[in-house]
Amino acid sequence: MQSIVLCITGASGTVYGLKILEELSRGLFVHLVVSDSSFKVMEEEIGLKKEDFLKSIPENCRFYSQEEIDAPISSGSVLINTEGVIVAPCSVGTLGAVANGISSNLIHRVCDVALKEKKKLYMLVREMPLSLIHIENMKKVTLAGATVAVASPAFYHRPQTVDDMVSFVAGKVLDHFGIKHHLYRRWKDEDF
């Protein structure tokens, strides 16, 4: 079974990571890394407690805490066999650490390894407005091979709910990896 790494950081917007996890777990093995601060944000934003989240992880997922710096996915010899790494949402703290080669937790390390192994790294930054420091860090990781996006839903598909907007953003991330989904209606797609 193909595998992929999904990292959920403590930026606002954990719903993006959860939607992506839901879709990825339909057909891939997911190496899942969730930061400590992400659990706090999950509870604040959607009322999901850490213990309930941990009980709900799909069977084809392997959960790692951010402290597990020695996890198999921290090595290029393992990460090279994955489809790549998604960080959603990506905090600007994580962006800054990766941009400057600082690997103080498993999420940073996995991103660093993805860059050195030339694997796909998709960083869905959730912040606004952006400072020049954020933009410079985005430039650095982009030049190093990552794809950086901001969580920016479209409106041409006429979203009716927050979930419609979340699904659009999650779908765009999955598109980058060639993962089939039906999360949003594509531009001028009458067959949706």
Q: Note the pLDDT tens digit of each residue in 24-49.
A: 999 999 999 999 999 999 999 999 99
Peptide bond into 58 cis (omega under 30): no
DSSP state for residue 56 in the 8-state scheme:
T
Q: What is the pLDDT of residues 174-190, one digit of tens each?
A: 999 999 999 998 887 76
At residue 191 the predicted structure's pLDDT band, cuts being 50, 70 and 90, is low
What structural domains and CATH numbers belong to the chain? Answer: 3-13+26-151 (3.40.50.1950)
Full-model pTM: 0.96
Separation of alpha carbons 118 and 76, rounded Å? 10
SS3 breakdown of the chain: % helix, strand, coil, rounded to 5? 45, 15, 40
Separation of alpha carbons 151 and 124, rounded Å? 6
Mean pLDDT of 14-33: 97
> How confident is the model at residue 81, as a pLDDT?
97
| More confident call, 68 vs 1 | 68
Cβ–Cβ contacts within 10 Å for residue 182, how many? 9
Question: For residues 104-134, b (16+ Cβ closer than 10 Å) or e, as one string?
Answer: ebbbbbbbbbbbebebbbbbbbbbeeeeeeb
Instruction: Tell me the one-letter amino acid at 165.
Output: M
Of all residues in the chain, the percent with pLDDT exceeding 70 is 98
Mean pLDDT of 134-154: 97
How far is CA 182 from each of CA 32, 85, 94, rounded to the nearest angstrom? Answer: 22, 21, 29
pLDDT at 64 over 90: yes
pLDDT at 89 over 90: yes
